[in-house]
Amino acid sequence: NCCPLLLLRYASLYFCLGVEAQENELLALEIIHRYVELLDKYFGNVCELDIIFNFEKAYFILD
């Protein structure tokens, strides 16, 4: 029962997501891509410092 890990890099940001075996990996990749697009719209060219110092806002966008 191995769960695949997805690792994506967007500019200087790395996203790691664990996906269950029965889940669609392509859908998970699309969700990460849309999350990065939303972060870019909110922060304007998002970087790791935006997420570190505004963790609550980044989490709210994800939720």
Taking only the tens place, the pLDDT of each residue in 17-59 is 998 888 888 999 999 999 999 999 999 999 999 999 999 999 9
- pLDDT score of 13 more than 70: yes
- pLDDT score of 1 more than 70: no
pLDDT at position 60 is 94
Fold designation for 5-62: Beta-Lactamase (3.30.450)
Calpha distance 12→19 (Å, rounded) = 23
The angle formed by the CA atoms of residues 14, 22 and 10, to the nearest 5 degrees, is: 15
* CA quadruple 34, 23, 51, 35: dihedral, nearest 10: 10
pLDDT at position 3 is 83
- pLDDT score of 2 more than 80: no
